[in-house]
Structure 1
């Protein structure tokens, strides 16, 4: 795949007056003419800081238009943008700095102190988005940019959030952005006039690609919030300002708990999607009662990310499924020995197509291990296809545990627990047991005013699950450690009896 032309330049040429961004908190609107001008000026500004093709630029900020100015400016130069996780302490971020060796740090006011702390050891220059940035940008010349953005070149790096270990820099190419735009665009019927909401963290692939870049490629409008705010989201939905939306399960859960949820006309938003983690059936049913069909999907940072998305027509009768693969990606289910499994059998989900990452930054061994000998990407996730070709995800390979010789898939147990009226969220892990080898430990976040009756939870599970699947232990929690996508970091959950 050859790649892209200069996206902001092309959009400015096609429809310069169309609104690219609307900043929800201030009301500011930026049209495509202004987005192209700003991006070209920022490309020149970056050059004054010594940034050249191939150089890495790290950015630590909340969701804001300037992030996308910088993303497109890096594309014009051939530089590589590296969004950093502002939830990480400086001690962890310094490891990522050492890994990607940037030439410049960019930050917003909320993360200024952390940015200074991580820049000092390498004596990196610091550009402050809430300081000198706007004045320097407006004083900069318009950069002519490159004639094209080669498909296999790295555009930006996304460090995986690490549900099981140390983050790795996943290479994100221009071709991946284009393929994702096609995959998600066809799946949701994206139109050039559509609007979406940008609020998922920008250091995660969904914050950039779902649905912001596809909407910008198509000439639509992106409403932008610094982060998750249930009230403003529901207000935008009720006002009919949003056409397409994607959130993680934690977002859907918080929307239902907000007092304005019952007064929100969910049908004013055309397409609802969910990814990042399994969406409990009860949440699908709650939104369906309000006229909104939430389409569950599945993908990875390594897949660009869109791979699976269930279609609206089958979302309810295939509840729990992540749907079929989209137009530019294939998937198969493989057994432990690499054999391809038939429908109904559970194995590793593997991917093939033009939108996959070429690998991990400076990690040749891990890159080799990511792919099979015949070039399919190994997801590390377990799943199965039904007879109609719909995929059901059973969880991470490392999350599956064996109790009394039987395989237990935590996602199945979590879904049952989430249906209990006292349970707001559940996360299940396997823990050692002298008799059975491993047994389940259910970590539970209770709904407000719920009593936390362990006997009742046990009885609920026994009515709905085989005995070996019923969790032997229950641990109550106020919240779970999470990745940027809302996935629970199960390796950080305390074991029963611990004080962690």
Structure 2
């Protein structure tokens, strides 16, 4: 058992000023001390900052306390006081022969968290020394910000893959009587959508594979229809090596077109349904598309393209008179086509907020290792019912669809997202997994409690969100409402996945992006492409076996030690969790200070009057740049610009206070729900998913 008073002394070959600056920065504590999930400024009282500290873990419990940081003698001593608990930590610094001695005295540490009372003094001393060593690493620029999940150990990685495959039930589905046929189908078509539906047609032919707003397809029907569609595409002159454009919402016809193109060796360029006609024309010309497969509602976007580009209708709505639908092609009854040496690839477009979207060639899944990677962080299971309102032309929606076939999951595809209708579909189909983007999570949470109560969502085990940061308020409120089923995925079109935060991570540190899945490597690198210390902010690089195969017509991102630059800045904490600071082009320099918009967005999201907020950098004649906030208020909320500025002023640095505060009814968003900050006057070249 610990005592009321504990002394810790550590000494490092670093300057006292460097130690002082770090220990007086509240951001330092959750970065270098395990068990501290957050340390957020609340206000300033009598010149002393008051902080909200989140301590503990999901396993042992989490507590939040107010803490005062009181400087006693500049560069010599300060105290961290917990006035409601009657405990404190006194920190004293002294020079010792070109070293700095750090002396810490704890009083009543067991009151901070019940778990601490079960430990002994040695554990508290070890915990303190471990954090202080990371502090010294920060000062000395030790290259410690690289974390690998199994990638450097082939044996461990293979064992991890086998474990995840068996735990999920995937391995148990290959019974001896059908295993040979299933593996033969995979060998014939590849470990991709085509091979997945072909193998599933052997094992579970009558199981529903895809349910959309108008139809239902079994695995056998998906395999048969896509085979007939591929043969028809060949008959009309499409050949391996060609590329076609696919402009469609989520439905069975979109999936069938992707699969048929892959079987024929044709690349399918997945066009964002929010693109204007001019951008589509540029992509058609740039990528030399041989044909277009388009939902009828988007015919006006392609009507002025050259007549020599064939067009086919993909959905069930009444097509343009004289148009050929994919059902017409399937009805031709063709069954033969030349199988390609390589299956066609799916080309996902980046967001294109700075110009014409780049086409990123997505690799095919690399066997069971790809499934095992996500299974190591998200508990998908065999025979799940998976609701995917996230667009399939988006990397996250597409990744979920690719995961569905080896899991024999039934995929429910709504063409449009509506928060209440999403809950209806969950209740109607007993959905176990929801694949969403953050705005969808937010919109569901915004539904009035009586509306949410109408629908039985008890079948949900996983809500996996990807595409943009989730605010801490959204994370905690969603889990309080629906249970600890939320998973936050960080990745991009170029790197696929990078990290996943599970419910335990999010309970402990709600703003974290999580930890790398099996077979993934994360590095926080400086401008020289060398690793930075744990806790230091730098460029996020990611390595795994699903890195994209390059852009169709653009130079690839920077690469270092087999990892690609995501374009984001972030840091790793002492527990190996990743945190995103923001895009490298979102950071502004105001009065010589580096300032990120995201901490301001996080702070304002906790205001009960605020529904949504976006913060961007704008030019400033005096300081070079400044922040501007765009706020959507909740209905009937009383909030003005001075209140917003005052709230931020008491919680963050003075350079973080937005001089401009604009109230909007809605924030501009793209088709995937990503806020288009360029329309607010700030940079938004974010390609991350």
Q: TM-score, normalised by structure 2?
A: 0.67
| Cα offsets for 1:390-432 (capped at 9, x unmatched) | 0001110000111222211211111111111121111111112
Q: Secondary structure at the match of 1:362?
A: coil
* Larger Rg computed on CA atoms: 2
| Residues 328, 353 of structure 1: 8 Å contact kept | yes
Q: Which residue of 2 aligns with 1:97?
A: 284
Pick from 439, 462, 465 the counterpart of residue 626 of structure 2: 439
| Cα offsets for 1:33-55 (capped at 9, x unmatched) | 10100110110111122111111
Q: Secondary structure at the match of 1:475?
A: strand
How far the C-alpha of 1:164 sits from its partner, in A, is 3.6
1:297 aligns with 2:489: yes
The root-mean-square deviation of aligned C-alpha atoms, in Å, is 2.1
1:459 aligns with 2:640: no
Unaligned runs of 5+ in 2: 1-186, 683-689
Q: What is the correspondence of 1:85-484 to structure 2 with a 5 Å cutoff?
A: 85-117=272-304, 120-121=305-306, 123-129=308-314, 130=316, 131=319, 132-133=324-325, 134-143=327-336, 146=339, 155-175=345-365, 180-209=370-399, 211-239=400-428, 241-259=430-448, 260-293=451-484, 294-303=486-495, 305-363=496-554, 366-367=555-556, 370-484=557-671
Report the Cα distance in structure 2 between the residues aligned to 1:179 and 1:468, rounded to whole angstroms: 46
Aligned residue pairs, count: 481
How far the C-alpha of 1:30 sits from its partner, in A, is 1.2
Report the Cα distance in structure 1 between the residues aligned to 2:443 and 2:345, rounded to whole angstroms: 33
How far the C-alpha of 1:356 sits from its partner, in A, is 0.1
Q: TM-score, normalised by structure 1?
A: 0.91
Unaligned runs of 5+ in 1: 496-500
Q: Secondary structure at the match of 1:299?
A: strand
| Residues 613, 629 of structure 2: 8 Å contact kept | yes
Q: Which residue of 1 aligns with 2:53?
A: none
Report the Cα distance in structure 1 between the residues aligned to 2:576 and 2:348, rounded to whole angstroms: 31
Q: Which residue of 2 aligns with 1:15?
A: 204
| Cα offsets for 1:289-336 (capped at 9, x unmatched) | 224232222100112x22211122222112100100111321100112
| Residues 163, 489 of structure 1: 8 Å contact kept | yes
How far the C-alpha of 1:173 sits from its partner, in A, is 1.8
Q: Secondary structure at the match of 1:426?
A: strand
| Cα offsets for 1:210-243 (capped at 9, x unmatched) | x222012321100111021212211133446211
How far the C-alpha of 1:108 sits from its partner, in A, is 1.3
Bigger CA drift: 450-459 or 475-484? 475-484
Report the Cα distance in structure 1 between the residues aligned to 2:531 and 2:307, rounded to whole angstroms: 48
Report the Cα distance in structure 1 between the residues aligned to 2:471 and 2:678, rounded to whole angstroms: 21
Q: Which residue of 2 aligns with 1:498?
A: none
How far the C-alpha of 1:445 sits from its partner, in A, is 1.5
Q: Name the CA shift for 1:427/1:179 in 2 (closer, same or farther; >3 Å).
A: farther
Q: Secondary structure at the match of 1:50?
A: coil
How far the C-alpha of 1:176 sits from its partner, in A, is 6.5
Report the Cα distance in structure 2 between the residues aligned to 1:207 and 1:276, rounded to whole angstroms: 10
| Cα offsets for 1:140-189 (capped at 9, x unmatched) | 22346748756xxx511111112444311011121379765433233212
| Cα offsets for 1:444-500 (capped at 9, x unmatched) | 1221222441111112112221222121211222223333332222222147xxxxx
Report the Cα distance in structure 1 between the residues aligned to 2:235 and 2:461, rounded to whole angstroms: 44
